[in-house]
Structure 1
Amino acid sequence: MTDSNANMPDAKGYFGEYGGQIIPPQLIDIMNDINDAYDKVSQTAGFQDELQELNADYVGRPSPVYFAKRLSEKVGGARIFLKREDLNHTGAHKINHCIGEALLAKYMGKTKVIAETGAGQHGVALATACALVGIDCEIHMGEVDIAKEHPNVTKMKILGCKLVPVSRGTRTLKDAVDSAFEAYLEDPVNYIYAIGSVVGPHPFPKIVRDFQSIVGKEAREQFLAKENKLPDVLIACVGGGSNAIGLFTAFLDDAEVKMIGVEPAGKGLDTPDHAATLTLGTKGALHGFECYNIQDKEGNPLPVYSIASGLDYPGVGPQHCYLKDIKRVNYEAVDDKACLDAFIKLSRLEGIIPALESAHAVAHAMKIAKTMSKEETILVNLSGRGDKDADFVADYLSL
């Protein structure tokens, strides 16, 4: 990494002025125990060997880098490549950190893993990983998302996890996080909270980033082998920010590589129906850490919206906040209409049905590709497949 990103987070979990442990004093020791266990266990040969074997033989890594030839020809300009995280077991990048978190829980002797999920990809991946290592799993999910993402709900039940519907507030991701964390606090000694993104109190943003960094490490090597150069632009969608930081981390030292995180503009940035936290948010505390978030004048998080359930979170990972401030990553916003257009175009031109979350990144790639030359390249992190969204989109568009 660049000097400004090296050794981050610091000992207190901060990326610049973002992150930390904004939690009750009695929880700080527990979080520090998790951090110490992670730092110790994750460096052992046994853990690394088991993780590497599972990534190769269970998850199906490395995921390929694919040139989207027909999409590129249709759009014009730069060539668009996809890092195919949609081809992982369970259909998204979420399995990368869920395998790591489940292994960590096993090595620490925990009896239950508790987590939240929005679109259900994290829930499915964690239920899968817990079934694999033989540990109980409890997933909290908003009722709105349960109705919208029924295929993932069914998978979680089949995998044997306890699914807890959340009926409070907006009944979406933010409320699921609140509910899951409360359940975790009932027995933090025997339970472990496996957060689904690079958010939450330290050490979770670090742990999830580290497990997701395999995406960028693979992509960098693959792209150099394929093109004999690095991509000109990296693009990934950003809700909490795990798939984006997973791609970006390996390229932070490469000043010539431009990076763009794409947030949901929802029904428009001039409406309250968006989740563009880096674009329109202000600094504050949320879910145990400091970050940009969508909040009222008293600092309370406001309801947010995205057509993609995995992106409707009022905060964002602290490292993304830092990367925005130092201008290493640019953050843009894509609305529902452009997202759906990209969803259909990628499906019909390449035979790849993307997750609605990932379609935000594809939409921005389509937008900027036409302003670039044919010699230039864009690499999009296709973070998940759209099985979970197919019925919703078909109904929404009356297909």
Structure 2
Amino acid sequence: MTEHHLNGVALPNEQGFFGEYGGQFIPPHLKKAMDDINVAYEEIRQQPEFQQELQDLFTYYVGRPSPLFHARRLSEQLSGAQIYLKREDLNHTGAHKINHCLGEALLAKYMGKTKVIAETGAGQHGVALATACALVGIPCEIHMGQVDIEKEHPNVVKMKILGATLISVTRGTATLKDAVDSAFEEYLKDPENYIYAIGSVVGPHPFPKMVRDFQAIIGKEIKQQAQTQFKQLPDYIVACVGGGSNAMGAFTEFLADDQVKLIGVEPAGHGLQTTQHSATLTLGKPGQIHGMACYVLEDEKGQPLPVHSIASGLDYPGVGPQHSYLKDIGRVQYETATDQECLDAFMTLSRVEGIIPALESSHAVAWAIREAGKLPKNVNIVVNVSGRGDKDADYVAEKLGL
């Protein structure tokens, strides 16, 4: 794993800042715990044995590299740019989340932790972490909003089968933000022996850096596969953004390649003119949440707003600090897709290519469907299909009356 710089600037710096975003806005006793994690991570990432173990797990356990698939029928139907799908949905556990969960579980084992605690929205991080913890033999406790538990039943059952303790969170909106709050409180009871395995490129330093590094395998593979399959770098790379881990995974390898346009797609929910969305980078402003500085959707009192997305994994009023920085410097363009566009994309990809995407990933697919027809046929768009839609199938069927 390499150090990350852009235009000569370290990302992050030693204090964990990406420009003015990131850092550690946490109580002193928790700062020590985070610094210990950072030291352990910097030690372990330099070890050839760790790198080899992780690489072997990626190859023989996760099934990497995930394919880059040319969606020919969809591209023909839109009669514009060529759409390629990075198939993270084919990973073991069904999403990109397994990439960093294996890294976090191995780190927990290396540090001698007795319990791994995490939050989950759509349940993909929860399933991936429960899987990784079963693999390394560490107890796992997952906090999940009651609303998401009811919506994501298949993932709830999987977590229980894998041996995780599932904590239902009923406070507030009973969704992702509240699950994060609940998990943090449990972690604070014994940060010496517990580790909080954050599920995205969010939270206090070193988590935005660490999760990004584990996810960067996605972009590395895209770069190699693009050269093999269409003999050049992609013109566009598109990924959905909630906290932003799958997008940072896809974008990191290309940040210095200015000719590659990077597009992050946020949830516009019922519309940006309503209060029912999670478009943090589009409509939020710089603030603090969950121990980091980033763009936040806040009320006039500076409290995080209740947010909405049809995709539980994007339902978050903050966003990764590196995304906040990349927005400010203009390296990534952040767009939105509504719930309706997302549903339409979900059904279109299912029926035209036989691939059922997660509702989260469907936001990125929606952008590609919307824009491909405006672009020439020799333009290549790579969409990161960050997860599969099995978990959403019952919900969508009910919503559409299938």
Q: Into which bin does the TM-score normalised by the smaller protein fall?
A: over 0.9
Structure-1 residue corresponding to 2:65: 62
Aligned residue among 380, 385, 389 for 2:388:
385
Q: What one-letter code is carried by the residue in structure 2 that aligns with 1:343?
A: F
Distance 1:84-1:5 versus aligned 2 partners, 3 A rule: farther
Contact 1:2 1:252 in 2 (8 A): no
Task: Find the partner of 1:108 among 100, 107, 111.
Answer: 111
In 1, are the aligned partners of 2:6 and 2:255 still within 8 Å (CA)?
no
Q: What is the deviation of 1:281?
A: 0.2
Count of aligned pairs between the two proteins:
399
SS in 1 for 2:131: helix
* Counterpart for residue 131 of structure 1: 134
In the alignment, does 2:34 pair up with 1:31?
A: yes
Q: Give CA deviations for 1:114-170 in whole Å, capped at 9, x if unaligned.
A: 000000000000000000000000000000000000000000000000000000000
1:283-294 equivalences in 2 (<5 Å): 283-294=286-297
Deviations 1:207-228 (A, max 9, x none): 0000000000011011111111
Distance 2:205 2:39 in 1: 11
Q: Aligned equivalents of 2:51 and 2:345: distance in 1?
A: 38
Q: Is contact 2:5-2:11 (8 Å) kept? A: no
User: Which residue type is aligned with residue 106 of structure 2?
Assistant: L
Secondary structure at 2:295 match in 1: strand
For residues 175 and 21 of structure 1, the distance between their equivalents in structure 2, rounded to whole angstroms, comes to: 20
Per-residue deviation at 1:62?
0.4
Which residue of structure 1 aligns with residue 164 of structure 2? 161
SS in 2 for 1:373: coil
Q: Are the counterparts in 2 of residues 264 and 336 from structure 1 also a CA contact under 8 Å?
A: yes
Hey, what does 2:358 align to over in structure 1? 355
State the partner residue of 1:320.
Answer: 323
Letter of the 2:195 counterpart: I
Counterpart secondary structure, 1:49 = helix
Partner residue of 2:81? 78
User: In structure 2, what is the equivalent of residue 119 of structure 1?
Assistant: 122
How far the C-alpha of 1:29 sits from its partner, in A, is 1.2
What whole-Å deviation, never above 9, does each CA across 1:257-313 have from its counterpart, x for those lacking one?
001000000000000000000000011110000000100122110100000000000
Residue 184 (structure 2) pairs with residue 181 (structure 1): yes
SS at match of 1:259: strand
Instruction: Give the superposed CA RMSD.
Output: 0.8
Return the alpha-carbon distance in structure 2 between the equivalents of residues 108 and 5 of structure 1. 32
Larger deviation, residues 275-284 vs 5-14? 5-14
How far is 1:4 from its partner?
A: 3.3
Match of 1:49 among 25, 47, 52: 52
Q: 2:214 aligns with which of 211, 215, 238?
A: 211
**TM superposition shift of 1:7:** 2.1
* SS at structure 2 position matched to 1:40: helix
Is residue 2:249 matched to residue 1:246? yes
Query: Given the alignment, which residue of 265, 269, 272 partners 2:268?
Result: 265
Match for residue 236 of structure 1 among 239, 264, 267: 239
State how far apart, in whole Å, the 2-side matches of 1:31 and 1:378 are: 38
Identical counterparts, % of pairs: 69
- Which residue in the other structure is 1:200 paired with? 203
TM-score by length of 2: 0.98
1-side partners of 2:329 and 2:374: how far apart? 25
Structure 2 gap segments, 5+ residues each: none
C-alpha distance in 1 between matches for 2:367 and 2:8:
26
1:141 corresponds in structure 2 to 144
Q: In structure 2, what is the Cα distance between the partners aligned to 1:163 and 1:2?
A: 39
Are 1:97 and 2:107 matched, yes or no? no
In 1, are the aligned partners of 2:114 and 2:139 still within 8 Å (CA)?
A: yes
- SS in structure 2 at match of 1:141: strand
In the aligned structure 2, how far is the partner of 1:322 from the partner of 1:131? 36
- Residue 277 of structure 2 aligns with which residue? 274
CA distance in 1, matches of 2:251, 2:67: 17
Q: CA separation in 1, counterparts of 2:249 and 2:46? A: 19
Deviations 1:52-76 (A, max 9, x none): 1000000000001000011111112
Unaligned runs of 5+ in 1: none
Q: Contact conserved, 2:88 with 2:96, CA < 8 A, in 1? A: yes
Residues 225 and 117 of structure 1: is their aligned pair in 2 closer, same or farther, counting only changes over 3 Å? same
2:14 is aligned, of 3, 8, 11, to 11
Alpha-carbon shift at residue 2 of structure 1 (Å): 5.7
3-state secondary structure, aligned to 2:195: strand
Q: Report the Cα distance in structure 2 between the residues aligned to 1:49 and 1:112, rounded to whole angstroms.
A: 24
C-alpha separation between the residues in 1 aligned to 2:186 and 2:202? 18
